């Protein structure tokens, strides 16, 4: 596994992946920041493209995140994460909306759990999921980071 750090408007990000693709983006300012494991190799080279795309995103552009990603999760989590990818730039959906889209209308709370376990935030835009009342709800990078990401997209 390779990793590197990247500065961003939402604080330092940890990027990690292997020859299969990007496996993780972690907010260093989040509740439980991931720590690189001893056997990981610090090398920014595998992440040059994703860092360029993220820089464009933070600058208010709308890059297509066409980098290989490796998503490991349960079938339920994978279905939720697939729905997140379909939320258009600058728009939001509620947990209930996602539950209905995956044909599990009573699973809004479980959707919230899956959203919270998204290993590749920003590229898989979990920040675009809000409460049914329109309120901002939990986010691995913290609510300030969620506000910043939504503000970038509102420009």
State the SS3 of the chain: CEEEEECCCCCCEEEEEECCEEEEEEECCCCCCCCCCCCCEECCHHHHHHHHHHHHHHCCCCCCCCCCECCCCCHHHHHHHHHHHCCCCCCCEEHHHHHHHCCCCCCHHHHHHHHHCCCCECCECHHHEECCCCCCCCCCCCHHHHHHHHHHHHC
pLDDT tens digits along 20-40: 999 999 998 767 788 999 999
pLDDT surpasses 90 at 135: no
The predicted model scores a pTM of 0.92
Count the neighbouring beta carbons within 10 Å of the beta carbon of residue 68: 12
Task: Pick the catalytic residue from 13, 67, 122, 126.
Answer: 126
To the query of whether residue 126 is one of the catalytic residues in this protein, the response is yes
């Amino acid at each position: 596994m390779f990793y590197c750090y990247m500065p961003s408007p939402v604080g330092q990000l940890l990027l990690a992946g292997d020859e299969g693709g990007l496996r993780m983006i972690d907010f260093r300012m989040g509740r439980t920041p991931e720590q690189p494991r001893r056997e990981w190799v610090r090398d920014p080279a595998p992440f040059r493209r994703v860092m360029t795309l993220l820089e464009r995103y933070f600058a208010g552009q709308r890059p297509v995140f066409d980098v290989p990603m490796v998503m490991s999760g349960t079938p339920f989590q994978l279905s939720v994460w697939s729905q997140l990818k379909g939320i258009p730039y600058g728009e939001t959906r509620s947990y209930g909306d996602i539950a209905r889209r995956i044909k599990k209308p009573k699973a809004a709370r479980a959707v919230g759990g899956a959203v919270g376990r998204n290993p590749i935030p920003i590229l898989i835009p979990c920040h675009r999921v809000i409460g049914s009342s329109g309120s901002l709800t939990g986010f691995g990078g913290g609510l300030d980071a969620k506000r910043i990401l939504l503000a970038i997209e509102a420009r």
